Chain A
């Protein structure tokens, strides 16, 4: 399944990934992503009929734990590393006028 990616496709994926790709970089990325997708084409030939997908080695099941409060309040420590913070809130540009 050879697939090629063009600049328009790069823009669409970059939008999904929330990445501001400069227009001059789109062509380079299109070429590089096309090469990676060519690599993926080999997967089509793999004999995987009847095999269940493996998401984690050993198919682990998630553990249950007692329904107890285990986290402590660390909001000051976390706020201290924020790019912009005030009174315990993260500051971002205004979303609703």
Chain B
């Protein structure tokens, strides 16, 4: 049997046995990336093949010398908002089209030190604002399962690259669902850890109290393996927590027998497609078959999650994105007549429509006379939502439900109605408001398109998520399904 070269675990086995070299795996990833690019548009910033192959050769050398790191020789892609010294970092925006950062994100430093081989930077919604990847300055990403459909967003490039078996893992970030929703729509696994588990240093900020880096891969075991490398205390991020690491081996060994699974009634309300609901119910039934206890639970404040999120995230964005002023880095307009003109035109030219809209929304919510009614009230609602989750986790280990109410929709289908696009995150944003760890794993198909099962656990309990997700993948095959046309 040929080795499984699509997963991190399989590639590490092949490297350890000598069946493959890091150079071979990197050449394979580069070939596949080139083959997929015309169809998917999933990569935007290039590392350069020479650069990637040199890193692969270094990994081969280190392995031969007995110094292999935990990801030595594994090709991967970053979502293009992790700063990479010497490699362009665009954030999907014209504002940073020509930006080459002078330093690297902590996440990149850690994966690099572990031996990972960066092959490119993945397309994304501009500044991570979107749920369809249609808001990228560099054009939309196409879903590998159906090229006329969206891959989800904002980490659409990361999810598409993993689904198309270009790389065995990609980094991603999740502010309101941006790891889980594209993972669901592309039929791959994605984990968003607890807020504070992974350093945000060197990650271009959207909404700082919500942003969290994570991983997209084919399996939960791979997600856990990479998260283990990425996570941990970083003094450079004031909100990065100084906590013990996840015991990944113990988490993977957790049995489903005796697991207490909560089924939030509010996640199965109006708007859930029949096929999505059926696949998710079947997955929950599988948990019951494996000896888990299923309990219906209530998250009564769920209806407030979307409005609270669309106050808080744009408010933080309007502040964070004020740094893009055409002075120190990024796009500058031509021939500014004065300093105000320089600021205003550089920003208007550099930011796309959705980003401008969210900046205006946030500016409005924070402005005199509206701060109490919108921003402060949204923050109170945020506590209400966090309290809902804290209450249910007294009785259950994980929550399970649909990641997205629908399967991947057609490109352009929701652009005319921006609020419909906002509702794509209806089951995911509450998790970010509360700062909880969550995951999406493939659990079936509807209309021939993948359906994602969202699992959520209490703060710092990624071990429960990893156990529940991995246990499910031990008894099901959905995560092995590949879209058509994946090999060169």
Number of B interface residues at 8 Å Cβ cutoff, please give it.
Answer: 74
Question: Does B386 make an interface contact (CB < 8 A)?
Answer: yes
Q: Give which listed residue, B311, B387, B434, contacts A43 with CB less than 8 A.
A: B311
Q: When A14-B360, A47-B384, A77-B102 are in contact, do A40 and B332 touch as well, CB less than 8 Å?
A: no
The CA of A32 and the CA of B357, in the complex, are separated in Å by: 8
Asked if B328 and A46 sit within 8 Å, CB to CB, the answer is: no
**Across-interface contacts of A52 in B (CB, < 8 A):** 380, 383
Residue interface bits A27-58, CB-to-B below 8 A is 1, else 0: 00100110111011111101110011111111
A18 surroundings in chain B (CB, below 8 A):
322, 325, 340, 343-344, 347
How far is A86 from B162 in the complex, measured between Cα atoms in Å? 44
Q: Is the CB of A58 within 8 A of B196?
A: yes
Given A32-B357, A46-B304: A19 in contact with B380 (beta carbons within 8 A): no
Given A47-B384, A57-B435, A20 and B361 contact (CB-CB distance below 8 Å) = no
Cross-chain contact B376 with A82 (CB below 8 angstroms): no
The answer to whether the Cβ of A87 comes within 8 Å of any Cβ in the partner chain is no
Q: Among A32, A57, A62, A93, which residue has its beta carbon within 8 angstroms of that of B238?
A: A62
B336 within 8 A of A: yes
A32-B418 contact, Cβ under 8 Å, with A57-B434, A81-B99: yes
Query: Is B363 close to A, CB under 8 A?
Result: yes
Q: Which residues of A contact B101 (CB under 8 A)?
A: 81
Task: Please count the residue pairs between chain A and chain B whose beta carbons lie under 8 angstroms apart in the complex.
Answer: 173
Is there a chain A Cβ closer than 8 Å to B239's Cβ? yes
In the complex, are the beta carbons of A48 and B329 less than 8 A apart?
no
CB contact list, B294-347 vs A, under 8 A: 301, 303-304, 306-308, 310-311, 318, 322, 325-332, 336-345, 347
Is B206 interfacial (CB-CB < 8 Å)?
no
Kindly list chain A residues whose C-beta atoms are within 8 Å of the C-beta of B373.
Answer: 1, 44
Task: From known contacts A20-B348, A57-B459, A58-B459, infer whether A42 and B304 are also in contact, taking CB-CB under 8 Å.
Answer: yes
Contact B344 A19 (CB under 8 A): yes
Known A5-B364, A46-B304, A81-B100; further 17 A-B contacts with Cβ < 8 A = A10-B360, A18-B344, A29-B360, A41-B307, A44-B373, A46-B301, A56-B195, A56-B209, A57-B194, A57-B433, A57-B436, A60-B238, A78-B102, A82-B329, A83-B326, A83-B329, A95-B339
The 20 listed contacts between A and B (C-beta, < 8 Å) are A13-B367, A14-B360, A16-B363, A19-B359, A32-B418, A39-B310, A44-B377, A47-B384, A51-B384, A53-B376, A55-B379, A56-B195, A57-B433, A57-B436, A58-B459, A62-B238, A77-B103, A81-B102, A81-B329, A83-B332
